[in-house]
Chain A
Amino acid sequence: MTGPASPVALEVEGLCKSFRAVQALDHVSLSLHYGRVTALLGDNGAGKSTLVKCISGVYAPDGGEVRVDGAVRVIGSPEMARSLGIETVHQTLAVIDPLDVVENLFLNREHTRGGRLGAWLGVLDKKRMRSESGEILGRLDIRIPSLRRPMSALSGGQRQAVAIGRAAAWGQQIVLLDEPAAALGVEQAARVLDLIRSLRDSGVAVLLITHNMDRVTEVCDRAVVLRQGRKTAEVDVADVSKDDLVAYITGARTGDLS
C-alpha cells in the first residue's frame, strides 16, 4: 500500500482510563499513519470505544499522551478534537433527528453570511451549505433522496451514510469509525468500505473498529487488538489470517507487540 514510510498522523502512548474500579484502558499505545487504515479489534468490553472516546475528546484519559502530527495535545473536548482535524463516527450515531441532511452535515461547522455581523450573529448561509452538501455527498457517492428531509425520515443506512459523510467531509487528517457498518445491509456495508478506501486514498489516517474480519482483511493495513483494556497484538494484516486475528481477540494467542 502506501509503504512503511508514510508519516504518522496520530500517536497514542501509555493511555490509561478507569471507570471506578474498572480499568478500561491500561497503558495502550498505537499510531495511525496518513493514507493507512488501522483496525482496532477486540471483544465486547475490550476498551475499543473508550479509546476512541479518549482520542475524540469525549473522555479525558487518566494518563498517557496523545500526539497529533508529533505535537503533544490534551484533547479536552470534542470541539478541540474536531479543530485538530479528528472526526469521529460514534457507535451511537451523532445525528440530530429533527434537522435535515444539510444541517446535520454542517452542524457546528455552519457557513454564515452577512459579513462580520452575520458571522457574529450566526446567520446561516443555507444556499451555500446546500450546494456544498450536494458536492460532498456526490464526491463520496452517497445517495440521499432529498437533502431537505429530516434525518428521522431516512433509513438506517442513509443515516449512517450521512454520519460517515460528515466525518469524511471535515476529517482532513484523521477519521475514527466506531462500527460504521454494524447496522447495514450487505450492499450498504460495501459502500462504506468504498468510502473508507477513498478516504485512505486521499491521504486520511483511518481507525476502524469492527467485529467483521472480512472487513479487516479487505481494507485494513494494520490491526491492533485490545483485550481487557490492554493491547495484546499489533500486526500487519497482510501477514496474518482471519483465524489468527480471531485467536488474538479471544486471547488464545498474543501477537507481535513491537
Chain B
Amino acid sequence: MTGDTAAAGPLPAAARQWLARRRRDAGLRPYVVYMAAVLIFGLFAVILRDDGFLTATNLLNIGRQAAPIAVMAVGMTFALASAEIDLSIGSVAALSSLVAAEAVGDYGFVAGAAAALAVGAGIGLINGAITVKVRIPSFLVTLGMLGIVSGIARNMNNLQSLPIRNDTFLAVFGAGSVGPISSLLIWTVVAGLVGHLVLHHLRWGRHVLSVGADRGAAAALGINTDRIRITALMTSAAAASFAGVLLAGRLAIGRHDLGENLLLTVIAAVVIGGTNLFGGRASVVGAIVGSVVMAMLNNGLILMGLRVADQLIARGVIIILAVALSMREQKET
C-alpha cells in the first residue's frame, strides 16, 4: 500500500517529469515523427503480414525508395528553415537524372554526378537570386521554375528515357552495396549526418535558422540575409539534383519524369519530421525519419492492392492529416 504512491499514474514519476520538461521546453513535437514511424510500421506489419510487408526484400525496397525522398528532404529542411520553400525540387531531380545520364555516357561517373549537381546548384542560384533581388516570394519563383525545368527536361530527350550503362555509376548510386548494406542506404545516412552537422555545428546552419526565425533581427546583427536565403535555396536544389542521380542510379536511366511527383511527399516528410513550414525550426534527423514514414506509406498502399488512382487519393488524405497534426502541435508550443 505505502509503496504504491510513486506508481500511481500509468507512467512512473521519472517518465512523467521527463514528459513535463519536454512539454515546457519544446513540446512533444520532435518525437511525433518517431511515434508515427513505429505506429505505421506496426500497423502494416499486422495488416499486411500475409502480403510480404515484413520480408527482407520488401524492407530493403522501402529503404531504397526512401533514399531519394530523404536526400531531397534534407535539402528542403534548409529551405524551410530559412523561411523559404522550393517547389521546383521534383522537376530539378528529373532534369538532373537526364543530365547525369548524358554526362556519364560521355565523361564517366564522376562527371555524371558533378554535372547534375552543378545544374541543381545553378537552378537554386537563379531561384534564390530572383526571390531575394526581385522580392518575389520563393513559392512563386520556384513554382514558375518547376514549369520551366520540367519543360526543359521534356525537350531534352524527346520524352524518351536515356539508358545508363556505366557500371561504376550504377553501383555507387544505385544497386551496389558495401557488404550487406545498400549504397542507397549509405547515401541516406550520409545526407542525414552531413545535414545534421551543418545545421547544428556550422555557422551557416545557425544563420539559416536565424534568418528563418526573424529576418529583421538577423539583419540587425549584421547577417547577410540575402546570401543566406540564396544559399539555402541552392542547397535544396542541389540536394534535389543528387536525389535525381540516385533515382537514375536505381533505375539505370535518366527520364523527364523521375522524381517529379515527389514534391508533396518530401514536404510532408520534412514537416512531419518537426520542421516548421514557416521557418525558424528545423530537424534533419526528423526529415530522414519522416522520409522513411512516407516511403512505408507508399509501399503499404501498393501492397494493399490499391489502384494508382486510389493510391493518389489515399496519399493525399494521409499527407494532409499528418501535416495538420504536426502543425497543431507546433501552434501549441
Kindly specify which of B114-122, B210-218, B317-325 makes contact with the partner chain: B210-218
> Do A124 and B201 have beta carbons less than 8 Å apart?
yes
22 CB < 8 A contacts A-B: A57-B222, A58-B219, A77-B222, A78-B221, A79-B222, A82-B221, A90-B220, A93-B217, A94-B217, A96-B210, A96-B217, A98-B281, A99-B209, A99-B210, A107-B206, A110-B206, A122-B203, A122-B204, A123-B201, A124-B203, A126-B201, A153-B25
> Do A103 and B206 have beta carbons less than 8 Å apart?
yes
Q: How far is the CB of B86 from chain A (nearest CB, A)?
A: 21
Interface assignment of B24: CB less than 8 Å from any CB of chain A: yes
Which residues of chain B have a CB within 8 Å of any CB of chain A? 24-26, 201-204, 206-207, 209-210, 213-214, 216-224, 280-281
Q: From known contacts A96-B210, A124-B203, infer whether A78 and B219 are also in contact, taking CB-CB under 8 Å.
A: yes
Q: Enumerate A97-123 residues with CB–CB distance to B below 8 Å.
A: 97-99, 103, 107-108, 110, 112, 121-123
Interface assignment of A27: CB less than 8 Å from any CB of chain B: no
Interface assignment of A215: CB less than 8 Å from any CB of chain B: no
Most buried by B among A79, A82, A107, A112: A107
> Do B222 and A78 have beta carbons less than 8 Å apart?
yes
Q: How far is the CA of A56 from the CA of B216 in the complex (A)?
A: 13
Interface assignment of A64: CB less than 8 Å from any CB of chain B: no
> Do A149 and B221 have beta carbons less than 8 Å apart?
no
Q: How far is the CB of B213 from chain A (nearest CB, A)?
A: 5
Most buried by A among B203, B221, B224: B221
Q: From known contacts A96-B217, A122-B202, A150-B25, infer whether A108 and B209 are also in contact, taking CB-CB under 8 Å.
A: no
> Do A124 and B202 have beta carbons less than 8 Å apart?
yes
The 6 closest A-B pairs by CB, nearest first: A122-B203, A79-B222, A94-B217, A94-B220, A78-B222, A96-B210
> Do B218 and A96 have beta carbons less than 8 Å apart?
yes
> Do A107 and B210 have beta carbons less than 8 Å apart?
yes
> Do A108 and B24 have beta carbons less than 8 Å apart?
no
> Do A150 and B209 have beta carbons less than 8 Å apart?
no
> Do A121 and B202 have beta carbons less than 8 Å apart?
yes
Q: Enumerate A71-105 residues with CB–CB distance to B below 8 Å.
A: 77-83, 88, 90, 92-99, 103
> Do B203 and A110 have beta carbons less than 8 Å apart?
yes
Which residues of chain A have a CB within 8 Å of any CB of chain B? 56-58, 77-83, 88, 90, 92-99, 103, 107-108, 110, 112, 121-124, 126, 149-150, 153
Q: How far is the CA of A98 from the CA of B213 in the complex (A)?
A: 7
Q: How far is the CB of B174 from chain A (nearest CB, A)?
A: 30
Q: How far is the CA of A83 from the CA of B26 in the complex (A)?
A: 35
CB-CB under 8 A from A81, the residues of chain B are 222
The chain A residue sitting closest to B204, CB to CB, is A122
Q: How far is the CA of A93 from the CA of B25 in the complex (A)?
A: 21
CB-CB under 8 A from B221, the residues of chain A are 78, 82, 94, 107-108
Q: How far is the CA of A83 from the CA of B206 in the complex (A)?
A: 20
The chain B residue sitting closest to A153, CB to CB, is B25
Q: A78-B220, A92-B217, A98-B281 given. 17 additional CB < 8 A pairs? A: A58-B219, A58-B220, A77-B222, A78-B221, A79-B224, A83-B222, A88-B220, A94-B221, A96-B209, A98-B280, A108-B221, A112-B203, A122-B202, A122-B204, A123-B202, A124-B202, A153-B24
Most buried by A among B202, B206, B219, B222: B222
Q: How far is the CB of B10 from chain A (nearest CB, A)?
A: 27
Q: How far is the CB of B8 from chain A (nearest CB, A)?
A: 29
CB-CB under 8 A from A88, the residues of chain B are 220
CB-CB under 8 A from B219, the residues of chain A are 58, 78
CB-CB under 8 A from A95, the residues of chain B are 217
CB-CB under 8 A from B280, the residues of chain A are 97-98
Most buried by A among B24, B25, B217: B217
Q: How far is the CB of A11 from chain B (nearest CB, A)?
A: 22
Q: How far is the CA of A83 from the CA of B25 in the complex (A)?
A: 35
The chain A residue sitting closest to B282, CB to CB, is A98
Q: How far is the CB of A151 from chain B (nearest CB, A)?
A: 9
CB-CB under 8 A from B214, the residues of chain A are 94, 96-97
CB-CB under 8 A from B223, the residues of chain A are 79, 107-108
> Do B222 and A99 have beta carbons less than 8 Å apart?
no
Q: How far is the CB of A94 from chain B (nearest CB, A)?
A: 4
Q: How far is the CA of A110 from the CA of B24 in the complex (A)?
A: 28
The chain A residue sitting closest to B210, CB to CB, is A96
Most buried by B among A56, A80, A82, A97: A97
CB-CB under 8 A from B202, the residues of chain A are 121-124
> Do A149 and B209 have beta carbons less than 8 Å apart?
no
